[in-house]
């Protein structure tokens, strides 16, 4: 991605969740974690990995003159990312399968490993981000549940990202 070009519009620039979640899906796929995208839970496959982002408050950091303008604009935000790994607990015969359980654990470990690689500025993830720089991913929690025939683990990470100076319209 070319990170030296401004966004086409402020609406495109401020579409944090859409742009960053899309970059995460591409980056995770490159690292052998296929992410599903669906608005309707019923259309997801039995086994999937998903990611959602929630933008938090501004950090107080601002750009004094974005795109050469005369009005300052906040350019750094807190965020929370949830990576959800769901796998089927039973094989086709209806039996609990140790192989499937270990597959779930392997997928959870793989997501942790891949996301941990992006803790520093200039990580591989940023090659997919056109308008932003990830400052950090900090593990903040893990929850596991059994929902009928599925194992589901949610890995939560606190994060912070900045709008690149070259992204302003």
Q: What's this model's pTM, rounded to 2 decimal places?
A: 0.82
Compute the C-alpha angle 56/154/23, nearest 5°: 60
Number of domains within the chain: 1
63: in domain: no
Residue 5 lies in a domain: no
Tokens representing 160 are 């912070």
1 domain residue, yes or no:
no
- Report residue 70 as tokens: 């005369």
Residue 144 lies in a domain: yes
Structural domain boundaries enclosing 119:
10-56+73-167
pLDDT in tens, the chain (169 residues): 555 678 999 999 999 999 998 888 888 888 777 666 655 556 666 777 888 889 999 999 999 988 888 899 999 999 999 998 988 876 666 666 666 667 888 889 988 888 886 655 666 787 889 899 888 889 999 999 987 788 899 999 999 999 999 999 8
Within-domain flag for 148: yes
The DSSP secondary-structure symbol of 81 reads E
Considering the domain boundaries, does residue 45 fall inside one? Answer: yes
CATH number for 119: 3.30.2000.30
Domain-embedded: residue 163: yes
CA–CA distance, 141 with 63 (Å, rounded to integer): 32
């Amino acid at each position: 991605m070319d990170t030296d070009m401004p966004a086409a519009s402020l609406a495109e620039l401020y579409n944090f969740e859409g742009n960053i979640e899309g970059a995460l899906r591409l980056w995770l796929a490159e690292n052998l974690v296929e992410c599903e995208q669906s608005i309707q839970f019923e259309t997801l496959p039995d086994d999937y990995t998903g990611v959602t982002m929630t933008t938090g408050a501004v950090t107080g950091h601002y750009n004094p003159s974005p795109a050469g303008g005369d009005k300052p604009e906040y350019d750094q935000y807190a965020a929370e990312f949830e990576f959800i790994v769901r796998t089927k607990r039973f094989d086709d015969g209806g039996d609990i399968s140790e192989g499937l359980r270990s597959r779930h654990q392997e997928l959870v470990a793989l997501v942790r490993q891949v996301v941990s690689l992006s803790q520093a500025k200039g990580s591989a993830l940023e090659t997919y981000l056109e308008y932003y720089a990830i400052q950090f991913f900090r593990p903040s929690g893990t929850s596991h549940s059994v929902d009928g025939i599925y194992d589901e683990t949610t890995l939560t990470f606190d994060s912070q990202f900045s709008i690149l100076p070259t992204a302003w319209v």
